Structure 1
Amino acid sequence: MIELRPLPPMDAIRAFEARKPDLVGTFSYLDMWREEHATSFTVAKSAGFDILKDISDGFERALKEGRTPRDFARDLRPLLQAKGWWGKKLLEDPQTGDLVAAQLGSDRRLQTIFDANMRTSYAAGHWAGFEQNKRGRPFLRYVALLDDRTRPAHRARHNLVLSVDHPYWDEWAPPCGWNCRCTIQSLSQRDVDQLQAEGEDLRFEAPEDTFRNFLNRRTGEITRVPDGIDPGWAYNPGRAAYEARINQSLAEKIADAPLIFITAAVDERLSSVAFERFLRNPKGSMPVMAIPEAISEALGRDVRVALLSSEIMQKQARRYPELTPADYRAIPSIGGEPTLVFQDKERTFVSTKLADGRWRYIALKLTATGKTAYLTSFRFAREENIVRLLERGDVKLLLDRRE
């Protein structure tokens, strides 16, 4: 019988440490949604009480020392009580101004916080291993604890085996709800054969999901949630945290690499499924354009790569929803064959004229080090838009390849 091997705690610890710097006080758990929880640490009703760091530090200590949920709650209780974050109180909802009866700290709530963050941290640590080892262990097996507490939908997915990159894991990746005890196990082909030889009823086709509508009362957004998954949990917490760390790590290290490596790294990221997920749910920063020597020389700076941050990508999605993944994947061509490069006081514009008469352009802002630039805008423009930009008094033309 194949045994589930325990995850080295350091993988889960590293996953949590990547989330810890981003502490976000919220009023409702609906204020942060799905993938946001994978890269940030929050506790609902924590805003204004100065307790978020206390809970985060307490959880990190419990994770590193292997402490129980009961230990976690017992250690934090006196501190939270001293700060007034305990029991039920009337609080003003900052969104509506209404007074709401709210449950603050309690032993039960602290144990729920512990459980959700522990399982999310371990899921992120597990997923790092899945990605690193998927060549030799290309399959994932959904494993449910089969007792009287198991949700019927989770029991129905026990022994489901799919490839690591299968889109089914976009939503059905444990934990799939509050207090979900399911997990995922990576398998080699030999493991699959051994499990079948031992009589395990493995299934290799994802069951067809049914859905229900869920109204987020805080945002008014209606989402389709698979039956069997709690609202807000229909995402892959492990992969979301893993990809955010990979994006940010690559963005931080790539600037010192040779241009040929930067170009290859950008091409790999833009062609990946991870880039499409970044466009839908941006986390971290994504390298989107290697900056050729012609542009860096025109700028008089050793700038080598343009990065697209999650904040700018969110603004892009709101301002220019018509832009497609194919449009974003074409960003490197702007730098590769620029028609114009010009600057105003703070921004650098790189633009390419297309055969249909339109212009594709990006605006960049250089960092203090000068080796990287952040993309601040990407869009299509008409000829008159470009002319209007060039006519501004503070514009400096750096490169002009117009005929």
Structure 2
Amino acid sequence: MATAQLIPLPPEDAIRVLLARGRQLSPTFAWQDAYAADHAAMFTVAKSAGFDVLQDIFNALSKALQEGRTLRDFARELTPLLQAKGWWGRQLVTDPLTGELQPAQLGSLRRLETIFNANMRVSYAAGHWANFERNKRARPFLRYVAIRDDRTRPEHLRRHNLVLPVDHPYWDVWAPPCGWNCRCTLQSLSEREIDQLRAEGEELLFEPPADELVAWVNKRTGEVHEIPVGIDPGWNYNPGRVGANVAINEALSQKAAGAPFELLEPLVAERVRSDAFARFVEKPEGSMPVMPILPAIGEAAGTAARVAILSAETMQKQLRLHPEMTLADYRALPSIGANPTLVFRAGSSTFVLVKLDDGRWRYVAAKTTKTGKAAFVTSFRYASDEDVRRLLAREGVKVLVDRREK
């Protein structure tokens, strides 16, 4: 019987993903505070809120990944540092959501093992996914590979040898790791390799098993999620793809930081024309760079950011409140930012508008973070001339760019 040839990747892709996640360190109280794809887009550790340990844990993980260190090395070096900062053992800590004191497990050898395994698996999954995308023309299929022993979940064993195209929507949810301590992986295959596996007697599946969905309530947010049996809550997404996209977005941001403004539009436009952006609009996960920021806007808004970001949260709101906006509209955002008809500020928001030939306006609202390090699109819709006149009549409006015909 054929066995999967899971050749370890050079860690460059995995390292790139972990470093990109480390750009956003977000202390949390409970793991449910940052759900599913948020974990792959940032770095967080539950119960780290209120303790100055998140950077230390990230640094130790980064060192372990880059130097090929083991869990034992990671824990041995990190434990005394965490103990010295008081993040160890069971303690009473304040829940920022309720203000109440609660007993909680902080650092322990078992927790460090969970942190190490989860982050390493997500980083390597993202590294593999970047490789799948680069090579999908030659190797257009993915094979689900489970470890067939008594430690593997039955639902994961049922999916062993499932073969589907790289872009199949089934991988939106069933992409390993599919839970805590999940050891399953994905393997890319060419058509020739599929034929070879079948010739060797491997029983491949080309139709995914039916999912049994169970409702799970996030007690921190009240959100209800329908999760397939066999996937742990918080793992019902594709951690590899989200992580790989985070690394791509980070690389784009770094290029944008040193690029002349006239090069920002084609740089961002290439990203929003991608299949990854189309998937993001249809099923928001993570975030996407979408709109170059004119120097005059950045100066007025007090931000050094060169490109505005569209978050999954805002994209979900857009789908709910403005279903009339099409993929073509969202793919126009780079041009809107680079060549606006009208830009003005009111309060803490900046409004960027482009007038179309049919008399309507495409209207983008954006805000910067308190630190000024990032800017985010907060709304995108169509507006009429009357809407624009009303916006300009608001008190305290400051026009930054005006290219309207006089």
* TM-score normalised to structure 2 length: 0.82
Shift of 1:16: 1.2
Q: Which secondary structure state, in structure 1, belongs to the residue aligned with residue 187 of structure 2?
A: strand
- For residues 294-352 of structure 1, the C-alpha deviation after alignment (integer angstroms, 9 at most, x for no partner) is xx9xxxxxxxx9944045x63464478322350434546867997x4354588463232
The 1:185–1:386 alpha-carbon spacing in structure 2 relative to 1, beyond 3 Å, is same
Correspondence for 1:15 among 6, 14, 17:
17
Q: Summarize the alignment of residues 2-401 of structure 1 with structure 2, pairs less than 5 Å apart.
A: 3-253=5-255, 256=259, 269-279=271-281, 280-281=283-284, 283-288=286-291, 307-311=307-311, 314-315=313-314, 317-318=316-317, 321-324=320-323, 326=326, 327-329=329-331, 331=333, 340-343=341-344, 347=350, 349-352=352-355, 355=358, 358-363=360-365, 377-391=379-393, 394-395=398-399, 398-401=402-405
Q: Which secondary structure state, in structure 2, belongs to the residue aligned with residue 231 of structure 1?
A: coil
- AA aligned opposite 2:202: E
* Alignment partners' CA distance in 2, 1:397 and 1:107: 57
Question: Is contact 2:269-2:290 (8 Å) kept?
Answer: no
- For residues 349-385 of structure 1, the C-alpha deviation after alignment (integer angstroms, 9 at most, x for no partner) is 3232574x6543235789xxxxxx9756422224322
Shift of 1:267: 5.7
Question: Is contact 2:291-2:336 (8 Å) kept?
Answer: no
- AA aligned opposite 2:97: Q
Shift of 1:214: 0.6
* Alignment partners' CA distance in 2, 1:244 and 1:117: 15
Question: Which sections of structure 2, spanning at least 5 residues, go unmatched?
Answer: 297-304, 369-374
* Alignment partners' CA distance in 2, 1:207 and 1:198: 23
- For residues 108-138 of structure 1, the C-alpha deviation after alignment (integer angstroms, 9 at most, x for no partner) is 1111111101101110111111111111111
Question: Which sections of structure 1, spanning at least 5 residues, go unmatched?
Answer: 297-304, 367-372
- AA aligned opposite 1:321: R
Q: Which secondary structure state, in structure 1, belongs to the residue aligned with residue 26 of structure 2?
A: strand
The 1:251–1:15 alpha-carbon spacing in structure 2 relative to 1, beyond 3 Å, is closer
* Alignment partners' CA distance in 1, 2:231 and 2:16: 27
Shift of 1:211: 0.5
The 1:400–1:258 alpha-carbon spacing in structure 2 relative to 1, beyond 3 Å, is closer
Shift of 1:273: 3.7
Q: Root-mean-square deviation (CA), in Å?
A: 3.4
Of 340-349 and 174-183, deviating more is 340-349
Q: Which secondary structure state, in structure 2, belongs to the residue aligned with residue 23 of structure 1?
A: coil
The 1:3–1:318 alpha-carbon spacing in structure 2 relative to 1, beyond 3 Å, is closer
Which structure has the larger Rg over C-alpha atoms? 1
Q: Which secondary structure state, in structure 2, belongs to the residue aligned with residue 26 of structure 1?
A: coil
Of 132-141 and 80-89, deviating more is 80-89
Question: Is contact 2:198-2:204 (8 Å) kept?
Answer: yes
* Alignment partners' CA distance in 1, 2:15 and 2:398: 50
* Alignment partners' CA distance in 1, 2:400 and 2:50: 47
* TM-score normalised to structure 1 length: 0.83
Question: Is contact 2:361-2:384 (8 Å) kept?
Answer: yes
The 1:364–1:108 alpha-carbon spacing in structure 2 relative to 1, beyond 3 Å, is closer
